[in-house]
Amino acid sequence: MGAVATGSAPELDLARVRRWCRDRVPEDVRDRVRIELDVDGRDLTILECHAPVPPGDDEWMRSPVARLRYLTSRSVWRLYCADRDDNWHEYPDLPWSRHLDRLLDEIDRDPTAIFWG
């Protein structure tokens, strides 16, 4: 998995999630929508962002999609979903994995429509 500083996500995994976010949106629409990643130590929060309305405003609308949390003690990732009040809950169908790609695939597939609505 890559080197891990205390309380932080592995750098290789962080790069993998950043690439996944970038690749989710075609380049020709990134001026209107994009997927961003907020990093806070071992928590990676994936956000869906929409361009300001009306155009010219500075602030993009940011909505949480999913959170990935790295558990250093077990070398696993846990997947979380947000409720309508933006409170995070462990995703029940696939709560943890040593393989980050499994969790990203689950977010992509979104079989419960909890991530992308």
> pLDDT (tens digit, 9 = 90+) per residue, 21-38?
999 999 999 999 999 999
Mean pLDDT of the chain: 90
Confidence of residue 75 (pLDDT cuts 50, 70, 90): very high
Q: In angstroms, rounded to a whole number, what is the distance separating the alpha carbons of residues 66 and 56? A: 28
> Hey, what's the torsion of the CAs at 117, 63, 88, 81, to 10 degrees?
30
Instruction: Please check the confidence at residue 1 and state whether its pLDDT lies above 90.
Output: no
By CB atoms closer than 10 A (0-12, 13-18, 19+), residue 104 is: buried
The residues spanned by each domain of the chain are: 11-109
Among candidates 97, 72, 70, 94, which has minimal Cα distance to 81?
A: 94
